[in-house]
A and B are shown apart, each in its own frame.
Chain A
Amino acid sequence: MTDLAIELIGICKSFGAVAANRDIEMKVAKGSIHGIIGENGAGKSTLMSILYGYYQADAGTIRVNGKDTHIRNSQEAIRLGIGMVHQHFMLVDTFTVLENIILGAEGGLVLKHGVKQARAHLKELNKEYGLEVDPDAVVGKLGVGLQQRVEILKALYRGADVLILDEPTAVLTPQEADHLFRILRTLKEQGKTVILITHKLREVLDITDNVSVMRGGQMVGNVRTCDVDRAGLADLMVGRKVNLQVDKAQREPGEVVLSVKDLNLVDRRNVKLLKDINLQVRAGEIVGIAGVAGNGQSELLEVLAGMQQPSTGEIFYKGQNLGTLKYRQPKAAVLRKLGIAHVPEDRSREGLVKAFPNYENAILGYQCDRSVCKGPLYSRKALVARMNQLIKQFDIRPDNPMLRVGLLSGGNQQKVVLAREIHANPDLLLIGQPTRGVDIGAIEFIHRRLVELRDAGKAILLVSVELEEIMSLSDRILVMAGGQITGEMAGKDATAPALGLLMGGGDKH
Chain B
Amino acid sequence: MEQLISLLDSTIRVSTPLVLAALAGLFSERSGVVDIGLEGKMLTAAFASAAVAYATGNPWLGLLAGMFAATMLSMLHALVSVTYNGNQLISGMAVNTIASGITPVLGLAWFQQGGNSPQLDDVARFHEINLPFADSIANVPVIGQIYSGLLSGHCILVYLAFLVVLPLVTWTVYCSRFGLRLRAVGENPHAADTAGISVVRIRYLALLCNGMLCGMAGTFLSVYQTGSFIKEMTAGKGFLALAALIFGKWRPTYAVMGCLLFAFADAVQIRLEGVPLPFIGEIPSQFIQVIPYVLTVLLLAGFVGRAVAPKAIGIPFVKSR
Q: Which residues of A contact B (CB under 8 A)?
A: 45, 49, 54-55, 73-75, 78, 84, 86, 89-95, 99-100, 102-106, 108-112, 114, 154
Binary CB contact string for chain B from 176 to 200 against chain A (1 if under 8 A, 0 otherwise): 1111110110011011111111000
Which of A89, A90, A100, A110 contacts B175 (CB under 8 A)? Answer: A110
Q: Which residue of A lies closest to B312 (CB)?
A: A92
- Digit string of B296-321 for contact with A (CB within 8 Å is 1, else 0)? 00000000000000010000000101
10 A-B residue pairs with Cβ-Cβ distance under 8 Å, sorted by A, are A54-B319, A74-B194, A91-B191, A92-B184, A92-B192, A93-B187, A103-B181, A103-B195, A103-B197, A110-B177
Q: Which residues of B contact A78 (CB under 8 A)?
A: 196
A91 to B193 alpha-carbon distance, docked (Å): 11
Additional A-B contact list (17), CB under 8 Å, known A74-B195, A93-B311 = A49-B321, A55-B321, A74-B196, A86-B194, A89-B191, A90-B195, A94-B187, A95-B187, A99-B180, A103-B192, A105-B195, A109-B176, A109-B177, A110-B175, A111-B175, A111-B177, A154-B195
Q: Nearest A residue to B195 by beta-carbon distance?
A: A104
Q: How far is the CB of A215 from chain B (nearest CB, A)?
A: 21
Task: Select B184's contact among A49, A86, A103, A110, beta carbons within 8 Å.
Answer: A103
Which residues of B are found within 8 Å of A45, using beta-carbon distances?
321
What is the bound-complex CA distance between A104 and B196, given in angstroms? 6
A109: nearest chain-B partner, CB-CB = B177
In contact, B188 and A111 (Cβ under 8 angstroms): no
For the complex, would chain B's binding face be called helix, strand, loop or mixed by DSSP majority? helix
- Of the residues B180, B187, B194, B196, contact of A111 by C-beta under 8 Å: B180
Q: Which residues of A contact B196 (CB under 8 A)?
A: 73-75, 78, 104-105
Min CB distance A88 to B, Å, is 8
Could you tell me if B180 and A106 are in contact, using CB atoms closer than 8 angstroms?
yes
- Taking CB atoms, residues of chain A closer than 8 Å to B176 are 109-111
Residue of B nearest to A78 (CB): B196
Known: A74-B196, A75-B196. A91 touches B177 (CB 8 A): no
Q: How far is the CA of A55 from the CA of B320 in the complex (A)?
A: 11
Residues of chain A contacted by B175 (CB below 8 angstroms): 110-112
Q: Which of B5-41 contact A (CB under 8 A)?
A: none
> Do B187 and A104 touch across chains, with their CB atoms under 8 A apart?
no
C-alpha gap A155/B181 in the complex (Å) = 17
Nearest chain A CB to B270 CB, angstrom units: 40
Contacts of A91 in B (CB 8 A): 188, 191
- What residue in chain B is nearest A49 (Cβ atoms)? B321
* Neighbouring A residues of B178 by C-beta, 8 Å: 109
Q: Mark B195-216, 1 if CB is under 8 A from A, else 0.
A: 1110000000000000000000
Contact A104 B321 (CB under 8 A): no
Q: Are B191 and A92 in contact (CB under 8 A)?
A: yes
6 closest A-B pairs (Cβ-Cβ)?
A: A104-B195, A75-B196, A90-B191, A90-B194, A106-B177, A104-B196
CA distance A86 to B191 in the complex (A): 10
Determine the distance from Cα of A333 to Cα of B321 in the docked complex, in whole angstroms: 35
Q: Which of A99, A104, A108, A112 has the most CB of B within 10 A?
A: A104
Which of A78, A86, A111 has its CB near the most chain B CB atoms (within 10 A)? A111
User: Are A93 and B188 interface neighbours, CB within 8 A?
Assistant: yes
- Inside 8 A of A86's CB, which chain B residues have their CB? 194
Q: If the complex has contacts A74-B196, A103-B191, A104-B195, are A95 and B184 also in contact, measured as CB distance less than 8 A?
A: yes
Q: How far is the CA of A73 from the CA of B321 in the complex (A)?
A: 13
Contact A90 B188 (CB under 8 A): yes
Docked-complex contact A84 and B194, CB < 8 angstroms:
yes
Give Cα distance in the complex from A50 to B70, angstroms: 41
CA distance A55 to B319 in the complex (A): 11
Q: Which residue of A84, A89, A104, A114 is within 8 Å of B192 (Cβ)?
A: A104
State in angstroms the CA–CA spacing of A220 and B183 once bound together.
44
CB neighbours (8 Å) of A114 from chain B are: 177
Question: Which of A84, A92, A109, A154 sits near B188, CB closer than 8 Å?
Answer: A92
Nearest chain B residue, comparing its CB with the CB of A74: B196
Residue numbers in B under 8 Å from A55 (CB-CB): 321
Judging by beta carbons under 8 Å apart, are A102 and B180 in contact?
A: yes
Taking the nearest CB of chain A, how far is it from the CB of B56, in angstroms?
35
Distance from A37 Cβ to chain B, minimum over Cβ atoms (Å): 20
In the complex, A110 Cα to B190 Cα: how many Å?
A: 23
Minimum C-beta distance from A295 to chain B (A): 25
Q: Which residues of B contact A54 (CB under 8 A)?
A: 319, 321
B190 proximity list for chain A (CB < 8 A): 90
